[in-house]
Amino acid sequence: MPEGDTVFRAARLIGDALVGHAVTRFDIRVPGSATADLRGERVHSSIARGKHLLLRVGEHTLHSHLKMEGRWHVYRPGQRWRAPAFQARAIVGTAPADAVGFELAMVEVLPTADEDRLVGHLGPDLLGPDWDLAEASRRVAADSRAAHVALLDQRNVAGLGNVYANELLFVRGILPTTPATEIDATAVLETGYRMIHANRDRSARTFTGIDRPGQRMWVYRREGKPCRRCGTLIETDEIGALPTSERLIFWCPRCQS
């Protein structure tokens, strides 16, 4: 599931391949930006902002959001793609490499000066150079909703998704439905910072410290299985993360009281 660490790696992958080179192919296959043409412009940077990826080319930015299924690949020119062409939503080519975004949920080309329209609402970014623990803690602690919901709200803190929220609350011993106003937001976010930085450079996340299939998670997707700490069966339910969506929560009834 793409979360802040996934987007960070995607931005770095694209940046390593394209930054400093002039664009030779620019093909955006979504309404609204399909006519954009940045050929001849130079790629300046590729950065992640929470779950958003910003590829800056000339005086414009190619913005994308992976949502659930999106992913970026990098290929040598002429190399066969590892995904069907009909899933491609954005193609940015240079002399040494092509970056192809497949099944991207959001794609838009806009002036770089207007980026705040898309990402200006985001809270402090756990993987950003300007991470502000105090401000993120203030926002989470002021949120009267369930702690799980408060952590998922990108306006409070950018980069955490459902996997991180579940695992983070287990490690801190917090029931997901506990109001965020009742938790130690600073301690939770300090743990979240360590977690996402530890996983930033891994292809497969681990929260237990064990990097083997089936042993990386404490509670996420482990409903009905024994807690790795106490043996109590993990429970699951749904929680209203946003007005239009429900998210699955997982917890140990004994360790998260």
Q: How confident is the prediction along the chain (257 residues), in pLDDT tens digits per residue?
A: 679 999 999 999 999 999 999 999 999 999 999 999 999 999 999 999 999 999 999 999 999 999 888 999 999 999 999 999 999 999 999 999 999 999 998 999 999 999 999 999 999 999 999 899 999 999 999 999 999 999 999 999 999 999 999 999 999 999 999 999 999 999 999 999 999 999 999 989 999 999 999 999 999 999 999 999 999 999 999 998 655 578 899 999 999 98
Known active-site residue 67: no
Q: Which residues contact 23 (CB under 8 A, 6 or more apart)?
A: 38, 39, 40, 41, 42, 43, 57, 92, 93, 94
Tokens 């940046």, residue?
Answer: 15
Q: Which of 2, 56, 124, 139 is catalytic?
A: 2
Catalytic-residue membership of 225: no
Query: Does 2 participate in catalysis according to the annotation?
Result: yes
Of residues 49, 51, 89, 216, which has the active-site annotation? 51
- Residue pair 90/103 in contact by the 8 Å Cβ criterion: no
Q: What is the DSSP letter of 158?
A: B
**Separation between Cα atoms, residue 100 and residue 81, nearest integer Å:** 9
Candidates 9, 139, 222, 247; catalytic one: 247
Residue tagged active-site, from 3, 167, 205, 222: 3
Other Cβ atoms closer than 10 A to 8:
26
Q: Is 111 a catalytic residue?
A: no
